[in-house]
Structures are given as structure tokens and as C-alpha cells.
Structure 1
Amino acid sequence: MISHAGHLEPHWHGRAAQPRRRRPALFIALIAFLSILAVAGGAIVGGGLLYAGSVASTFSSTVKHIPNAFPPAATRPVAVSTGAMNILLIGSDSRGDPTTISATGTSNQRSDTLMLVHIDADRRNVYVMSIMRDLWVPIPGNGTAKINAALAWGGTPLVVQTVEQLLGTPIDHVAIIDFQGLAGMTDALGGVDVDSPVGFTTVLKPHYTFVKGINHLDGSQALAFARERYAFPTADYQRVADQQALIRAIVSKVLSRSTLADPAAMTAFVGAMGRYLSVDEKFDLPTIIGLAASMRLDGASSIHTFTMPTGGTGTSADGQSIVNVDQNSLSALRTAYAHDQLGTLAQTR
């Protein structure tokens, strides 16, 4: 595991006043992306290219594309040719207009959560790193601020540029998602079994209660489970851990034999996901099929989730509550991304 000073220790996994509602948007994008790869990849192995092509085509016909998703080439890090792939997942909170989240320039959008998905070169493992939304980082052209401000100040390109410069690694694809698809997606799977790290009752009505351990969740319960942060002393740290637990549960259900064996159900499921997802213009149908065909995941154990190491919480000079970067771990993390060594890094922590 990766440690960080002054706060909870994030783990690698292979398996207040009335708050306003927030979107657990990023992990939905992850579910959509991994599900497409899992279903299409499994279809190629078990049902042939026709099934895989049908799944990918359904996704391609429903998903939206983000124009100009990336910053100018001159501002981007030079890629090391490892064959690995990085996908940045961006979700926005309820304050902004979802139709403008990919636009450059100032807006009222803030990214609720960020996740960086790293698919290793041999396509056998996927590493999902959550980035705390209050992480205090340099935002190009804007000084130092919370990382979630990048979307408001410069749209998708500035978010990409901020993450690329923070981690020193290029982003290959971008996805933005609307939270409303979560309940329907979970219900389409017949619910999921989530291993909750802690027991808690949600602050927001209708006050769902979850036990520590396995909980069978329908769509509404899954949405509440992923949204909650006010019930915890550690707030967003625990919410991120809960989102990661839900990711593993849904991906495990999607990868199950019974789910993969039902082409009609899976095609409908993928179509439902696509309606809530926007991706960069290069993530087209041939790319989807090609990537899916290359995946060699060994079930849910191939999906590894963790949180970017932080140096605990603090207060900025202008009085904001912030999360500090763990500078001692940042160098090793940058090296691991650059050289496709996240698996090795995990083993040494």
C-alpha cells in the first residue's frame, strides 16, 4: 500500500449542515469503460467478433464525444513508449451546466472527483488511482489551488494539463460522465454485492444504513452509498474508499459468467451507460474494439484501486481547507507511471 503522512493510509485492492447533493460521477465512468472492455473482450473470446462488435457499436452510437479535449501538444509531457494506456475520468458536481463541461474558459463547473485509470502494457492489470478533489496543486496559468478548480478555469484541457504536469505522464483518453446512469446500471445488473469498509447511515434522506461487510445494493442504495461523505470523520477519504468498493462490486458482477453469457442484456446495459458518457474524439469504435480485443483481465482481481498519497489536510493562505500532496511519494509515483511499473510500486509499499 502507499502511505501518506497525517491521515488515512490508502490501500491497494485487488478484490454536517444539510449538504447539497454531489455526484459520484467518476466511478460511473470507470464502470462504463471497464465494462465495455470486459464485455467486448469476453465476447471476443467466448462469442466471437460479432458479439464484441455489436457491444462496441451500441456503445459508440450512444456515447457523446468531447471536442478539443486535450491541451496544446507543446505543453504536454513526452511519452515513454511502454505500450501502457492512461485514461482520465472527470466528473462534475451539480453546480454547473453539463453541456459546457468540455469547453475552455471560465465556467461554474467543478470536478467532483478525479480518477486516473492505467492499463498496463500486457493488458492484464488495470490500476485505478483516485485523486482527492481538494488536493492543493499547481494549475497551469492560475497559480496553486484545489485541483477541482481546473475544470472551472479551463475546461477539460486544463484538467488534463494539470494532471499531466503533476504526474509527469501523458493522458491518452478522457471521459466525462453524468451521475444519473448509476441507479439504472446497477438495477440492470440485478443489484450488486458491495463489501463496505465501514458501517454507516447516510446523512441525506432516506437515510440508508449499510453494515460493515457485504451489502446487496439496488440502484438507489448504490447512489447513496457512493455519494455519502458527511457521515464520516474522514469525509472524502472514506467516500473515495467506498466508491472504490462499489467499483469492484460492479466490475465483478459485469465480469461474472452469468452476465457475460447474456448478449441481449449486456448490449442493453452498455447502451444505457453510453447515454451518460462523453469521451474524447479519438476514443472511436475501432479503438474500442481493438483495446477490448487486447485485454487479458483475470476477473475482478485484475482491477486494483488506490488513492494518490497525500500529506494530510491543512489550510491554505487564503483560509481554504485543503489536502496536501505527499511530496515524498510523488517522485516514485511519477516514475511508476512513466515506466509502467505500478504493479512493482504496489509490491514495495
Structure 2
Amino acid sequence: MGWSSMAQNRMQVKQAKKRNRKQYVFIVVLILVFAVVGAGGYWYYRISNYKKLLPGGVVFPGASDDHDQDILDIRQAFSKDIINILLMGFDRNESRDEVYEVYRADTIMLASINIETGKVDVISIPRDTLVPIYRRGGGKDKINSAFTYGWRYGGGSTDEEKYKLGMLYQV
């Protein structure tokens, strides 16, 4: 065996290793592509079939009992063009249930839905905002405490007074 045949063998071994590395990278990339496409397809399936995931359906006032799909203009259901919904999250858990009966709002958000344009605006109200508390004789406190003073109506009415909004709905 001469030098040229040994050099040729080394070149063949290097080329074989390079080819094996390329095949390995190709297989890994192919597996990743299948995983991403599969996850994306599953996500799209879940999103596109959201109605099947919801318990029950949307019930409109005036809908018939025979489960026909009554078409009801949303403006008739709410009798206005803008719907304001106050969203509140509370600091409630099992250990606090033993001590407290009423909870303060951790998160206060206002969602305003414009039915004409289909636009939804959501703002977060800082929980330390100092406001006059509804039904408290002009006293001021942090807005997250409003719910404790007026139970269900305290939070919404205080926010309604503060921001001058016709707010009928609370979640």
C-alpha cells in the first residue's frame, strides 16, 4: 500500500462520516418539522372546533325551546351598541375560606365591546387606585376594596362612578 491509497482511504472515510452526519441532521430536522406541523395541526383543530369544547351553547333571550337556531340580533339582546363588562379576579383560596367571607379583587379589567365595529378594548385598572367607594358616604379607599364594601354591587358601581360608564355586566 502506498501513500496515495492511504490518503484515498482517509478521504473515503471522511466523506462517509460527512455523509452520515448530513443524513443524521436531515433526519433530526425532518422529525422536528413533523412535530411542529403535527402540533400546529392539532392546535388548529382545537381552535376551529371550539364550539364542541364549550359546555352547552349560547342561550339568547327569546330563543325557542325546540333548539332551532334562532337568529337574534345582538343589539336586541343587549339593547345598545357598546357593551361594557367588568372582569374581576379575587384572592380566594381554601385557606382563606376558613377565615374570610369577602375577598378583594386582585385583578380588575374593563372590556368594552363595540358591536357596530366589532372592536374590543380591554383596560386594566390598577388595584391601588384611590376612589370614592359607592354607598360608603363619600369615603375613599383602594378600588380593589370596593367589592368588600358593596359585595357584588360595590365593585361595579364604584368603577361605573369613577369611569362614568354604563356597566351592566360583571364577571
TM-score of the superposition, structure 2-length normalised?
0.49
TM-score of the superposition, structure 1-length normalised?
0.26
Greater radius of gyration (CA): 2
Higher relative contact order (CA 8 A, sep 6+): 1
- Please identify which structure carries the higher helix content: 2
